């Protein structure tokens, strides 16, 4: 199974959460303005792919880019993944359920994030 991580990123640009999905040897990454709790719809910014080392990393980031703390982690299943629309099922400790990312603007790389909790009621903690 593919892995994901959500890192709380305290950076010079401000506090945000990085959603990282493991794919093709890299982590596809989006910055979110708040934690990706089930039931929320948030604006997201696509960031450059990150190294897979961030799946297990917490601490300071080189170059004065702040520090990261793991907010959630787990595995995911892909329902759909193309250039403008992604749907995955996250199996994490805090968030479990369907997450969608829809591209809304190419310049800058703006996306819309939304999370639906799993029917079991688990997914926020």
What's the domain range around 75?
Answer: 2-117
Q: Would 53 be classed as within a structural domain?
A: yes
Q: In sequence order, what are the beta bridge partners of 101?
A: 86, 113
Q: Would 60 be classed as within a structural domain?
A: yes
E strands in 12-124? 14-23, 26-32, 41-50, 59-60, 67-81, 85-92, 96-105, 110-117
Q: What is the mean pLDDT of residues 11-23?
A: 96
Q: Would 125 be classed as within a structural domain?
A: no
Q: Would 83 be classed as within a structural domain?
A: yes
- The count of C-alpha atoms lying within 13 angstroms of the C-alpha of 7, restricted to the half-sphere facing its C-beta, is 25
Residues contacting 57, CB < 8 A, separation 6+: 68
pLDDT, one tens digit per residue, over 38-55 is 899 999 999 999 999 999
What is the reported pLDDT for 34? 96
Q: Say yes or no to pLDDT of 121 above 60.
A: no
Q: Would 106 be classed as within a structural domain?
A: yes
Q: Would 122 be classed as within a structural domain?
A: no
Proportion of the chain above pLDDT 70, given as a percent? 95
pLDDT, one tens digit per residue, over 51-73 is 999 999 999 999 999 999 999 99
What is the domain count for the chain?
1
């Amino acid at each position: 199974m593919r892995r994901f991580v959500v890192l709380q990123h305290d950076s010079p640009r401000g506090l945000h959460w990085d959603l990282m999905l493991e794919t093709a040897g890299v982590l596809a990454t989006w910055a979110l303005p708040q934690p990706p709790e089930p039931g929320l719809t948030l604006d997201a910014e696509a960031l450059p792919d990150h190294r897979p080392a961030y799946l297990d990393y917490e601490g300071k980031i080189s170059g004065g880019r702040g520090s990261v703390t793991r907010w959630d982690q787990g595995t995911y299943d892909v329902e759909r993944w193309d250039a403008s629309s992604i749907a995955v099922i996250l199996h994490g400790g805090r968030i479990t359920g369907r997450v969608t990312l829809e591209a809304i603007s190419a310049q800058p790389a703006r996306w819309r994030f939304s999370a639906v909790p799993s029917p079991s009621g688990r997914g926020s903690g």
